[in-house]
Chain A
Amino acid sequence: MNKNYTKLIHIKKKVILPLLILTLLAYFAFILGIAFFADFMSLTLQGTVISYGLLLGLLLIMFIFLITLFYIHMSNTYFEPLIKKMKS
Chain B
Amino acid sequence: MNYIAASLFILFVIVTLFITYWASKQINSRQHFYTAGGNITGFQNGLAISGDFMSAASFLGISGLVFANGFDGLIYSIGFLVGWPIILLIIAEPLRNLGRFTFADVASFRLQQKPIRTLAAFGSLATVLLYLIAQMVGAGKLIQILFNLPYQFAIYIVGILMILYVTFGGMIATTWVQIIKAVLLLLGATIICYLVLIPFQFNLNDFFQAAISKHQLADKIMAPGSLISDPISAISLGLALMFGTAGLPHILMRFFTVKDSYQAKRSVAYATGFIGYFYILTFIIGFGAIILVGSNPQYLNAEGGLLGNNNMAAIHLAHAVGGDILLGFISAVAFATILAVVSGLTLAGASAISHDLYTNVFNHGKSDEKKELRVSKYATFGLGLIAIFLGIIFEKQNVAFMVGLAFAIAASTNFPILILSMYWKNLTTQGALIGGSIGLITTISLVVLSPVVWVDVLHHEVAIFPYKYPALFSMTTTFIFVIFVSLLDRSKQASQEKALFDQQFYRSQTGVGLEAGKKH
Contacts and interface: CB of A to CB of B under 8 A. Distances in A.
Whether chain B is bound by chain A comes out as yes
B85 A31 contact: no
B406 interface: no
A87 B212 CA distance: 59
Contacts of A67: 85
A57 B74 contact: yes
A41 B297 CA distance: 33
Interface in B77-92: 77-79, 81-82, 84-86, 88-90
Most buried by B among A30, A36, A49, A67: A49
B268 to A, nearest CB: 6
Interface string A25-43: 0011011101110100110
A42 B89 contact: no
B74 A54 contact: yes
Nearest to B81: A64
Interface stretch (B194-202, B367-375, B437-445, B509-517): B509-517
Contacts of B75: 31, 34, 57
A75 B71 CA distance: 35
A58 B280 contact: yes
A72 B270 CA distance: 10
A59 B204 CA distance: 15
Interface in B234-277: 234-235, 237-238, 242, 262, 265-266, 268-269, 272-273, 276
B272 A75 contact: no
Interface residues of B, number: 48
Given A27-B82, A49-B205, A49-B212, A61 B280 contact: yes
A53 B71 contact: yes
A31 B242 CA distance: 12
Given A50-B205, A68-B272, A60 B78 contact: yes
Contact of A61 (B78, B89, B268): B78
Interface of B: 71, 74-75, 77-79, 81-82, 84-86, 88-90, 204-205, 208-209, 212, 219, 222-224, 228-231, 233-235, 237-238, 242, 262, 265-266, 268-269, 272-273, 276, 279-280, 506, 509-512
B510 to A, nearest CB: 5
A68 B268 contact: yes
A80 B262 contact: yes
A56 B224 CA distance: 12
Interface of A: 5, 8-9, 12, 16, 19-20, 23, 27-28, 30-32, 34-36, 38, 41-42, 44, 48-51, 53-54, 57-58, 60-62, 64-65, 67-69, 71-72, 75, 80, 83, 86-87
Most buried by B among A5, A36, A48, A61: A61
A3 to B, nearest CB: 13
A-B residue pairs, 9 tightest by C-beta: A42-B223, A35-B234, A68-B269, A51-B222, A35-B231, A34-B224, A57-B74, A68-B272, A31-B234
Contacts of A31: 75, 79, 228, 234-235, 237-238
A8 to B, nearest CB: 7
Nearest to A4: B510
Nearest to A69: B269
Nearest to B231: A35
Nearest to A57: B74
Nearest to B82: A27
Contact of A19 (B79, B89, B235, B269): B89
Given A23-B89, A49-B222, A68-B85, A12 B509 contact: yes
A51 B269 CA distance: 29
A83 B85 contact: no
A16 B423 CA distance: 13
Given A31-B75, A36-B231, A49-B222, 9 more contacts: A5-B509, A9-B509, A19-B89, A31-B228, A35-B228, A42-B222, A50-B204, A72-B88, A86-B510
B425 to A, nearest CB: 14
Contact of A41 (B209, B224, B231, B511): B224
